[in-house]
Amino acid sequence: MQQLSLDDFIGKPGSLSGTIPIPNQQIAERARAAAVPGRTGVWLERGRELWWGGILWTASVQSDARGFLSLAVQAGTWDTYLSHRMVYDTLTATATDQYAIVRGLLDYVQGTPGGDIGIQYSNELSGILRDRTFSRFDLPVVRDLLDQLSKVENGFEWRIASYRNADGRRVKRLQLGTPTIRTGRADIVLDHPGPITSYTWPIDATKRANAWQSRGATTNSNQAAASVPLTSALQLAEQDVADGWPRLDGSSDYSTVTEQATLDGHAAADLAAARTGTAIPEITLDMSRTPVSPALLGATVRVRIRDLWHPKPLDARYRVVGLAISPPERGRPESARLSLEVP
């Protein structure tokens, strides 16, 4: 595979793209048989280390002006499969640990004919109990249900990790963390100037809010009356206003939520996220100087930057929530772009 690029994240799907050159009939037959969108699994190895796994979703045969053929492919991490699965039965959980609800949804997906793609999980608990009803009449997408369940007060993070176990077998495993996924023990120190070749540090308040209300499902059973949605209690960050911030309002919709406590939990979590604004710094590393791998996801790095913007050097710890690998090009070494979570 040529022109390979890949990324992986905590909180959203990762992707892989590349081009398979087709120089002869034999390779064409192999590529035609192997690269079947929606059916083919993709594993990427670097040496003996497994770096990435997912599902091939698109393939495009290309011919240039000289008649050379290639197959451009794109794949998504294993969690993208859950965007193609829906709940066709009503599922109910009462006073159930939120991790158990996640595993129940996975069991539902993998218990159907053709639905078992081999995602494994452990039986740890978060200690947070939830009540949930997923109605078949809403035809909910499983990934949307997992994202909604995770993005509530005292929620969690989830991803499906790919790795090679001690026996050498390739594994797809559900990874859960409350409130966040954490990996590694020792901080990795990254300096600029140094291994950090460039960085982007956004300062964005376009989505910042210090007052929030969420809307849920329409619960009016009186057909003669006007239909109104369930609304959460108005969430206010009074300390922001006391600190001199103007009032900034925000809202969100959860059309399938019918319980007041659940909707209030969504609103509280959304307000907490909105108070910090949108800031996901990115640093780019020269991989010839600082080897990295997808195992960095969830790890803590210590970033030290000194330049005109930081005359007093920045020295802070951040969690890695995204990783993108760019292949080497003429005059430029292979590089890795890390997306960081501001503490």
pLDDT for res 326? 83
Query: Quick check: 59 pLDDT over 90?
Result: yes
The third-level CATH classification (topology) of the domain covering 85-177 is: Phage tail protein beta-alpha-beta fold (3.55.50)
CATH architecture of 188-203+279-341: Beta Barrel (2.40)
**Is 225 a residue whose pLDDT tops 70?**
no
Which sequence spans correspond to the domains of the chain?
A: 2-78, 85-177, 188-203+279-341, 211-275
Secondary structure, 3-state, the chain: CEEEEEEEECCCCCEEEEEEEECCHHHHHHHHHHCCCCCCEEEEEECCEEEEEEEEEEEEEEECCCCCEEEEEEEEEHHHHHHHCECCCCEEEEEEEHHHHHHHHHHHHHCCCCCCCCEECCCCCCCCEEEEEECHHHCCEHHHHHHHHHCCCCCCEEEEEEEECCCCCEEEEEEEECCCCCCCCCCEEEEECCCEEEEECCCECCCCCCEEEEEEEECCCCCCCCCCEEECCCEECHHHHHCCCCCCEEEEECCCCCCHHHHHHHHHHHHHHHHCCECCCEEEEECCCCCCCHHHCCCEEEEEECCCCCCCCEEEEEEEEEEEEECCECCECCEEEEEEECC
Say whether pLDDT at 122 is over 80.
yes
Question: What are the pLDDT digits (tens) for 314-339?
Answer: 999 999 999 999 877 777 788 999 99
Tens-place pLDDT, residues 83-113: 999 999 999 999 999 999 999 999 999 999 9
The confidence score (pLDDT) of residue 304 equals 96
Which pLDDT belongs to residue 10? 95
Give the predicted TM-score (pTM) of the model. 0.87
